Amino acid sequence: MASRSLSLSKLLVEPRVRIDYYVNKIRVVGLGWTVRWIARLIAIEVMWVVLLPITVLAHLAGYRRVSIFVERIGHLASEFDGFLKERALGWLPTRRWFVVAPRQSVANPCLLDYWSRHVLIIQRPWLGAVLRAMGRHGVMEWAVRQYTPTPVDQGPATYYSVLAAWGDRPPLLALDEAHRTRGRAVLAEMGVPSDAWFVAIHAREAGFSVENEAAQA
């Protein structure tokens, strides 16, 4: 009974949260941006329907677009890491994985280059647009937003359970020597001793993501 009550509460609360989120979003970004956003969504859905026969064949052949949010540095780091660690742990089925990441949209191209050593990255804009439209609604798509969900998703972050299972295994990425040398040189210019520890601070100020200001506040 408790679980059924919880499910009913979730069904009642989630639509209201989503509606409030989008109402606030429209209020912040304005009607013009909203109309363009809706038109883009409609175009993507039309393309998905048109390409559905090809998409189904690709899905049956094992192709999966891993839907990583490459436009944000936190997602670019954590979602790649969570997905690749789950795959290494044997938690994922064998598939032909790929990620769509047009270089001009990626938060950190250098980090993407490191991830490209572990999974196929599609960077051509036109091909990426087609594959993004195809890989949706669970067809030829592998969603990873559960690793670091947004307030709208209303779910727990599963990335922490992946890290716990990974334990003390070595990290997936290691800096190339050229990057390590360059980084140390920059730190030295800032007055940081070569053997000193340092802490990187992530500060998200107002205006960081105007179209999502309501969710980020």
Residue 3 lies in a domain: no
Q: What pLDDT, on a 0 to 100 scale, did the predictor assign at position 199?
A: 86
8 pLDDT exceeds 60?
no
Residue 4 lies in a domain: no
Q: Counting beta carbons within 10 angstroms of the beta carbon of residue 35, is it exposed (0 to 12), middle (13 to 18) or buried (19 or more)?
A: exposed
Q: Which domain holds residue 38?
A: 11-216
Residue 67 region by backbone torsions, left for phi larger than 0, else alpha for psi between -120 and 50, else beta: beta
Confidence band for 4, pLDDT divided at 50, 70 and 90: very low
Residue 199 lies in a domain: yes
Instruction: Report the range of poorest mean pLDDT among 22-26, 172-176, 182-186, 198-202.
Output: 22-26
Q: Give residue-wise pLDDT tens across range 55-103.
A: 999 999 999 999 999 998 889 999 999 999 999 999 999 999 999 999 9
Residue 6 lies in a domain: no
Q: How many domains does the chain have?
A: 1
* Local structure of residue 171 (DSSP, 8 states): P
Query: Positive or negative, the Cα torsion across 28, 30, 36, 42?
Result: positive
Residue 101 lies in a domain: yes
Confidence band for 213, pLDDT divided at 50, 70 and 90: low
Whole-angstrom CA distances from 215 to 33, 42, 69, 97, 109 are: 17, 23, 16, 30, 26
**In contact, 115 and 80? CB cutoff 8 Å:** yes
* Local structure of residue 170 (DSSP, 8 states): P
Q: What pLDDT, on a 0 to 100 scale, did the predictor assign at position 204?
A: 72
Q: Give residue-wise pLDDT tens across range 97-125.
A: 999 999 999 999 999 999 999 999 999 99
Stated pTM of the model:
0.80
Tell me what the mean pLDDT of segment 192-200 comes to.
87
Residue 62 lies in a domain: yes
Residue 58 lies in a domain: yes
Q: What's the token pair of residue 19?
A: 């509606």
Instruction: Report the range of poorest mean pLDDT among 74-88, 131-145, 161-175, 190-204.
Output: 190-204
Nearest Cα neighbor of 77 from 17, 144, 26 is 144
Residue 145 lies in a domain: yes
Nearest Cα neighbor of 172 from 86, 100, 110 is 86
Q: Give residue-wise pLDDT tens across range 145-172.
A: 899 887 666 678 999 999 999 999 999 9
Confidence band for 9, pLDDT divided at 50, 70 and 90: very low
Q: What are the backbone angles phi and psi of residue 142, rounded to the nearest 5°? A: -125, 105
